[in-house]
Amino acid sequence: MRVLVLTGAGVSAESGIPTFRGKDGYWRNLDPTKLATPEAFARDPQLVWDWYRERRERIRNARPNAAHAAIAKLAQHADEFLLVTQNVDNLHARAGMSAQDMVQIHGDIFVTRCSRCDFRQRDDDQDDRQHRKGAAGFGVRRSRDCGTALKARTCPRTPKCPNCDALMRPSVIWFGEQLPWNELQRVENFLDGGACDVVIVAGTTATFGYIIDWAFRASRDSAELIEVNPEETLLSRFATRLVREPAAIALPRIVDGLIRSR
Ligand SMILES: [Zn+2]
């Protein structure tokens, strides 16, 4: 069984991570689709960092749900498997997805990278705990990622690159930015590697052309194209099976059915 799974914000929404679109996504009355842009970062990097720090905190406190677990289970049973997720959180990984079976096409919120040079770092658990303790009033601590005293929930400054002193930024793909070349190549290689038997598109409205393109190409030789989304999307009329339910409800059942039918 050769399987491609494409996921979007709907999968993480059920773990309490707000989607960009819709009322829940608003933060301090600001529209996330305008915050997640190079222009917003150039105008007010502190504001954008505050928002990302809150999102990181929310993700740390969230748990993977049944949809994440079902996808990880399917990966174990498939002969060849690729998950392409638009989510920048780590919930797929925490549910057991290995990095080699997964492409985070919109980046990784827990990686901080330089806005100028190649420097990047993963903000590990130790940093997470320091941030949380600082936020909980455990006293002044040094924050490793900005190098300044941390009294409040957020660092007082935006982090600077230790190599070139330019601003550090979250390693996510903002609106209007190019997709990462290496990750694109991994998707292309998988698509070139042969026809899929099953394509699952879950929790995404498929508004980005490349998501639709990949779903089409992977299912071109009459593979089953399963869409899991409570609402109709641009992909719906091409799906061979429509499941109008939240991913955490539908995916465990779909995955068990696929594994049984092998
Ligand atoms: Zn740098």
Q: What is the pLDDT of residue 23?
A: 66
Asked if residue 130 has pLDDT above 80, the reply is no
Report residue 127's pLDDT band, with 50, 70 and 90 as the boundaries.
low
Please give the distance, rounded to the nearest whole angstrom, from the Cα atom of residue 99 to the centre of ligand 1: 26
Please give the distance, rounded to the nearest whole angstrom, from the Cα atom of residue 168 to the centre of ligand 1: 7
Asked if residue 151 has pLDDT above 50, the reply is no
Please give the distance, rounded to the nearest whole angstrom, from the Cα atom of residue 118 to the centre of ligand 1: 6
Please give the distance, rounded to the nearest whole angstrom, from the Cα atom of residue 240 to the centre of ligand 1: 48
Q: Dmax over Cα atoms in the chain, in whole Å? A: 61
Please give the distance, rounded to the nearest whole angstrom, from the Cα atom of residue 115 to the centre of ligand 1: 7
Asked if residue 114 has pLDDT above 50, the reply is yes
Residue 127 sits at φ, ψ, to 5 deg, of: -60, -40
Report residue 90's pLDDT band, with 50, 70 and 90 as the boundaries.
very high
- DSSP reduced 3-state for 171: strand
CA dist., res. 183 & res. 79, Å (int)? 21
Edge-to-edge order in the sheet of strand 120-122: 120-122, 107-114, 168-172
Handedness of CA 80, 86, 90, 91 (dihedral sign): negative
Contacts of 145 (CB under 8 A, 6+ apart): 112, 121, 123, 127, 155, 159, 168
How many alpha carbons lie under 13 Å from residue 68 in its C-beta half-sphere? Answer: 23
Please give the distance, rounded to the nearest whole angstrom, from the Cα atom of residue 27 to the centre of ligand 1: 29
More confident residue, 22 or 2: 2
- DSSP reduced 3-state for 155: coil
Q: What is the pLDDT of residue 139?
A: 34
Q: Which residues pair with 256 in a beta bridge?
A: none
CA dist., res. 199 & res. 223, Å (int)? 7
> What is the chain's mean pLDDT, rounded?
87
CA dist., res. 52 & res. 172, Å (int)? 10
Kindly report, residue by residue over 28-58, the tens digit of the pLDDT. Answer: 778 888 889 999 999 999 999 999 999 999 9
Kindly report, residue by residue over 169-195, the tens digit of the pLDDT. Answer: 999 999 999 999 999 999 999 999 999
Kindly report, residue by residue over 209-239, the tens digit of the pLDDT. Answer: 999 999 999 998 878 999 999 999 999 999 9
Q: Which residues are catalytic?
A: 106
Asked if residue 108 has pLDDT above 70, the reply is yes
Asked if residue 125 has pLDDT above 80, the reply is no
pTM of the full predicted structure? Answer: 0.87
Asked if residue 150 has pLDDT above 60, the reply is no
Q: How many CB atoms lie within 10 A of CB 77?
A: 13
Please give the distance, rounded to the nearest whole angstrom, from the Cα atom of residue 88 to the centre of ligand 1: 22
DSSP H/E element including 243: strand 241-243
